[in-house]
Chains A and B, each alone.
Chain A
Amino acid sequence: DAGITQSPRYKITETGRQVTLMCHQTWSHSYMFWYRQDLGHGLRLIYYSAAADITDKGEVPDGYVVSRSKTENFPLTLESATRSQTSVYFCASSEPRGTIEAFFGQGTRLTVV
């Protein structure tokens, strides 16, 4: 199916563990983004990527690592999970033409215990 998908949808992990959130889009959009959403903070940008092998930090990158070896995939890794990283994570993609609409995945609800 065309679109942008995130996996897993729900994840519980322990403090200190490494966890990877996956994001896959089928439109071949150039840009991909990772946001986290927390009560009181709204959506905050973690990392983004303008193309394969090009990534850049957003507002809250500490504790996260991204890669983009293929245009369609943009995984987000928490190297050593902390409780403060409990959040809902949204992946998005867009193409820098036209309305520049960003399409979001359904989100991953991550709980770090």
Chain B
Amino acid sequence: RKEVEQDPGPFNVPEGATVAFNCTYSNSASQSFFWYRQDCRKEPKLLMSVYSSGNEDGRFTAQLNRASQYISLLIRDSKLSDSATYLCVVTLNQAGTALIFGKGTTLSVSS
């Protein structure tokens, strides 16, 4: 079983739509969680960290459920510029050891 699993999509949505991505991780010892964004043929960049209490950054909301080992990302009012691949990422401890990536979920927002 892959350590971090995501629905690969693609998700094709119109502008203004709300879209949710899900991610599960297999190692209960995982301690830090993130969503990264990767544009086509570019390097991944941090979108947001994910906390147990949930956190919001503008149109983006991330949730973590440790009991279910489940992470989510909600994007409201989708923009064309949100089109990208969204990568779910976990680390095993706070010391910043290697990030473990899911394969990514592709989002395409159309006008």
Contact = CB atoms under 8 A, between A and B. Distances in A.
Interface stretch (B14-22, B63-71, B89-97): B89-97
Contacts of A74: none
Interface string A25-47: 00000110101000011111100
Contacts, number: 55
Contacts of B103: 40-42
Interface of A: 30-31, 33, 35, 40-45, 48, 50, 58, 90, 92, 94-97, 99-102, 104-107
B45 A104 contact: yes
A37 to B, nearest CB: 9
Nearest to A48: B98
Interface magnitude class on chain B: 20 to 34
Contact of B32 (A31, A95, A100): A100
A41 B91 CA distance: 18
Contacts of A44: 101
25 contacts: A31-B97, A33-B99, A40-B103, A42-B103, A42-B104, A44-B101, A45-B99, A45-B100, A48-B97, A58-B98, A90-B43, A92-B99, A94-B96, A94-B99, A95-B96, A99-B49, A101-B34, A101-B46, A102-B99, A104-B45, A105-B43, A106-B42, A106-B43, A107-B42, A107-B43
B43 A104 contact: yes
A106 B45 CA distance: 11
A55 to B, nearest CB: 12
